[in-house]
């Protein structure tokens, strides 16, 4: 056995523990169950010491859950190919792809937004900022999107409206069926060149 084999085994075990912890946290948050660190450790089948060795605080655990969920969104956004086609159509595809993942993760989003700092939320979203900003810039260059406000303001508007739709669905004031068309029309109108 090579000297790196024990390290590789420990790394693989640690990766399995992290995956089990994040899976358990997601399951508990998705069902509205108690997602305390003790409950997450029990659901993951690991000790609290193991959980704390990877996530020293509940906010650290929630940030990892948020980053993982946003990562799924990033994969969906990439699959929607926002760099191709007419900017307005690409924006619709991007919104559909992102909403499909966001819709699945509504309870995770609610927990994260309630308990994470703005900096932690910003860090979680960084992985999807670039493709959205690239689409905004492409749309502005093509004359399809407005140029009278900064590109970062359009990005902030996108996030605010997506999150507002998720909040409305969570509160029962907007059905899941109504949410996607509403958010597409609202973001499309907010981005459209005048």
Q: Are residues 70 and 29 in the same domain?
A: no
What is the pLDDT at residue 131?
A: 94
Judge if 154 and 79 occupy the same domain: yes
In this predicted structure, what is the pLDDT of residue 107? 66
Residues 77 and 47 both lie in one domain: no
Radius of gyration of the chain (CA): 19
Are residues 38 and 93 both part of a single domain?
no
Contact 25, 35 (CB under 8 A): yes
115 and 142 co-located in one domain: yes
**For 56, which DSSP code?**
S
The confidence score (pLDDT) of residue 163 equals 85
b/e 65-94 (16+ beta carbons within 10 angstroms → b): bbbbbbeebbebbeebebeeeebeebbbbb
Q: Please, are residues 116 and 110 in contact by the beta-carbon 8 Å criterion?
A: no
- Model pTM? 0.76
Number of other residues whose CB lies within 10 A of the CB of residue 57: 10
Strand, helix or coil for residue 46: coil
pLDDT one digit per residue (tens) for the chain, 194 residues = 555 666 777 888 889 999 999 999 988 888 877 788 999 999 999 999 999 999 999 888 988 888 888 888 888 899 999 999 999 999 999 999 988 877 667 666 666 667 777 887 777 778 889 999 999 999 999 999 999 999 999 999 998 999 899 889 888 999 988 999 999 999 999 999 98
- For 91, which DSSP code? H
Counted domains in the chain: 2
> Which CATH number covers residue 187?
1.10.357.10
Q: Which domain holds residue 87?
A: 58-191
Torsion 40-44-47-52 (CA) sign: negative
Whether 137 and 73 map to the same domain: the answer is yes
Residue 172 CB-half CA count within 13 A: 0
Residues 181, 117 share a domain: yes
Query: 3-class DSSP state for residue 145?
Result: strand
Same domain? 34 vs 63: no
Element (H, E) at 105: none
158/156 Cα distance (integer angstroms): 5
Kindly state whether residues 88 and 146 are assigned to the same domain. yes
């Amino acid at each position: 056995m090579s000297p790196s084999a024990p390290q590789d085994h420990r790394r693989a075990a640690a990766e399995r523990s992290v995956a089990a912890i994040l899976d358990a946290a997601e399951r508990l948050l998705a069902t509205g169950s108690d997602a305390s660190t003790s409950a997450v450790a029990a659901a993951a089948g690991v000790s609290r010491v193991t959980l704390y060795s990877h996530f020293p605080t509940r906010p650290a655990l929630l940030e990892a859950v948020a980053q993982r969920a946003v990562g799924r969104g990033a994969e969906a956004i990439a699959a929607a190919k926002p760099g191709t086609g007419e900017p307005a159509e690409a924006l619709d595809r991007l919104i559909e792809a992102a909403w499909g993942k966001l819709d699945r993760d509504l309870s995770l989003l609610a927990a994260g937004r309630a308990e994470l700092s703005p900096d932690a939320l910003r860090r979680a979203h960084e992985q999807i900022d670039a493709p959205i900003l690239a689409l905004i810039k492409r749309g502005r260059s093509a004359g399809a999107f407005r140029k009278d406000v900064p590109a970062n303001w359009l990005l902030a508007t996108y996030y605010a409206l997506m999150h507002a739709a998720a909040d409305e669905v969570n509160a029962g004031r907007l059905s899941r069926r109504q949410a996607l068309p509403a958010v597409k029309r609202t973001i499309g109108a907010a981005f459209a060149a005048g």
